[in-house]
Amino acid sequence: MSSNSQISSIQRNREKKRRQMQQRRSQFKHHWELYQAKQQATQMGLTSAQTRLGQSDDVLEVKVMEAMQRIWSRRGTFAPANLANIFVQQTEDMTYGDYKQALVRYLWTAIADQQGLEPLKLKIKETLTQLWPEQSKQKIDARLKLRTCNRLISLLTTQGLPHPSPMFTLLAVQEQYDVFGLMLLRLMLLSRPSYQCLADAIKALRSYYDKLDNPKSQWIVSFLDVFLLNIRDYLDRGFDQKISLNPTPPIKTHYKSLP
């Protein structure tokens, strides 16, 4: 095969993948909007509207959408973009050492402190403590944010390997996918350039579980697909640029006053 033919083949494959991704995004948006409409009709007691919207026959899809709803349904002060903006405002003059401590508080805000999640919290604290201690007195900057967020994304996904990290396995065993999604979303809102790190890690996780022939693994594959599409759509719309913050936000967590 000539070099020109190889290049043409690569370009066709890339274009095919791009079209497939666009199709999946459009399909997801349609299903997501339909799911939210069903939820709203249920909350309002509109039984006729529920009937018109119908019920999905795909049990796996419904469960994935329910998990997405738990991740993206936070409103008001604890909406992901709002919380991220508050964190950025309160930590912009911090040293890196103080920033790492505040980051733990930020990631854990409004997440139930369940007993099964304690190993994850301890591992995040341990990981942050070990990150570039020689920079502790330096003022936080974009470079340190990027490197730190990337390291935590790795901790929660694959740690750079072609299989799940211990922390992802912990969350998967406990079915704490909302915690997984919320933490990654919160990290992405602090460091947009970390998206490629996240996308590569999700791709590796998806590839690993796609090879396992069981319903649980296929559920995880579907969840990862929808999660990545959802977070890409969320970031593309720039929600964190549109949130108007209350000058004195009613939030109990103040990241400058740590214990």
Q: What pLDDT, on the 0 to 100 scale, is given for residue 40?
A: 54
Burial tier of 103 (Cβ tally within 10 Å: 0-12, 13-18, 19+): buried
Q: What pLDDT, on the 0 to 100 scale, is given for residue 255?
A: 60
Q: Per the confidence metrics, is the pTM higher than 0.85?
A: no
* Confidence class for position 70, pLDDT limits 50, 70, 90: confident
Q: What is the pLDDT of the chain when averaged over all its residues?
A: 79
Tokens 């103080």 sit on residue: 98
* Confidence class for position 12, pLDDT limits 50, 70, 90: confident
Q: Using the 8-state DSSP alphabet, how is residue 2 labeled?
A: -
Higher pLDDT, 167 or 8: 167
Q: What pLDDT, on the 0 to 100 scale, is given for residue 215?
A: 87
Do residues 41 and 152 touch, judged by C-beta distance below 8 A? no
Residues facing 95 on adjacent strands: 139
pLDDT tops 90 at residue 26: no
Tokens 């799911």 sit on residue: 35
Give the mean pLDDT of 108-137.
90
What span, in angstroms and rounded, lies between the C-alpha atoms of 8 and 189? Answer: 37
- In this prediction, what percent of the chain has a pLDDT beyond 90? 46
Q: What pLDDT, on the 0 to 100 scale, is given for residue 148?
A: 98
- Mention every residue, 6+ apart, whose C-beta is less than 8 A from residue 155: 123, 124, 127, 165, 167
* Confidence class for position 240, pLDDT limits 50, 70, 90: very low
- In this prediction, what percent of the chain has a pLDDT beyond 70? 70
What span, in angstroms and rounded, lies between the C-alpha atoms of 62 and 74? Answer: 19
Domain boundaries defined on the chain? 1-55, 57-242
* Confidence class for position 50, pLDDT limits 50, 70, 90: very low
Nearest alpha-carbon partner for 251 in 101, 76, 73, 93: 76
185-227 per-position pLDDT tens digit: 999 999 999 999 999 999 999 999 999 988 889 889 888 988 8
Higher pLDDT, 164 or 240: 164
Q: What pLDDT, on the 0 to 100 scale, is given for residue 200?
A: 96
Higher pLDDT, 255 or 201: 201
pLDDT tops 50 at residue 141: yes
